[in-house]
Amino acid sequence: MKEKLLKKFSEIFGGSDGAKVYFAPGRVNLIGEHTDYNGGHVFPCALTIGTYGAARKRDDKVLRFYSMNFEELGVLESSVEGLKPEREADWTNYPKGVMWAFQEKGYDVDCGMDLLLFGNIPNGSGLSSSASVEVLTGHILRDFYGFDVSNQDLALIGQYSENKFNGVNCGIMDQFAIAMGRKDHAIFLDTADLSYQYAPLKLENAKIVIGCTNKKRGLGDSKYNERRSECESALASLQNVVDIKSLGELTEEQFAQYQSAIPDEVKVRRARHAVSENQRTIQAVEALKRDDVTLFGELMNASHVSLSKDYEVTGIELDTMVEAAWRQEGVIGARMTGAGFGGCTVSIVEEDKVDRFIEEVGREYEEKIGYAASFYVVEIGDGPVTL
């Protein structure tokens, strides 16, 4: 891969002297969806697929970007001075946002760069291609300038750039999972205070299978921000009757006790998902500690039902794929993963049933939806590296 990127870099930018190659993973969240901005727990892991970048520092202010995934866009140019989001800048708003965020945090990003990207995460799939680009860019800047920033800092800067530069009100999970990834482990993260622990993912004789619906979506123009504001409104109503800072502080029993304080039935359901999903995530990690993969799978299934009925972020594509997955032999658990409204499912499938699973779920999905899904059997990997 390194040689492939440097060869393309040389073609596009005229030689590859001084260029280095970097990698940041994608992530999948096993359980704990739409809890990260509600002060709850999440349980993601980094993947061995992600975003590769070949980069070289320039001695002027010019930024030149090229993506092997969007070759039709050609080289997109900008400057490190006066960085601002622009529709015509397309995907380059993500690396530009990170450069802007470093500057905002007091780090002197004073030179341009040539940057060539190649991602083997499906675009718009919900496996965090944008956060992968953000963490990758932060890792490159740290290497270029010797900035004293930790991987956790890279996650926070990436989230800040997505919130403030790109206008997507995302929580911390995606960037944190990518920056802090550890091979063969998932991260049990409390988004309220960023305390975390690594949990070994011992899926004996089972594999993680990602199903991509191939329905494209963009977070910024999805209903993501709407769901977030609904939860904030529900929280404000609850705070009139109980002393909490986030929905993640409530047990399901407490929520049942206080929910009548929320005047809107839709917002009751949104908040109920945030509370119940947080509790499911805590229970799921406890189940894994006991090697109870069966219970973990049941909690995954319950998570999808809640995301479909209470949070209403699934849609026909994700529901079709998950319901098909539940019918297959050897499936331990299956649910949508990511923001929803398209994107991906994650299933834990017994290893000897994986091929049949992909064939059958793919057939059912295409028959009902009218176009094919894509499937990826994934491994759990580390955070960002210089190759």
At residue 246's C-alpha, the angle toward residues 292 and 163, to 5°, is: 100
Tell me, what DSSP letter sits at residue 261? G
DSSP 51-86: EEEEEEE-SSSEEEEEETTSGGG--EEEESTT----
Task: Say how far apart CA 87 and CA 207 lie, in whole Å.
Answer: 39
141, 98 Cβ separation under 8 angstroms: yes
Taking the CA atoms of 230, 236, 237 and 241 in sequence, report the sign of the dihedral they define.
positive
Q: Do β-strands 44-57 and 20-29 pair in parallel, antiparallel, or remain unpaired?
A: antiparallel
Sign of CA dihedral 3, 4, 7, 12: negative
Q: Which residues contact 221 (CB under 8 A, 6 or more apart)?
A: none
Question: Taking a C-beta distance cutoff of 8 angstroms, is the pair 302, 64 a contact?
Answer: no
Written as six digits, the tokens of 303 are 């998570």
Identified catalytic residue from 174, 264, 310, 382: 174
Concerning whether 59 is annotated as a catalytic residue, the answer is no
Residues acting as catalytic residues: 174
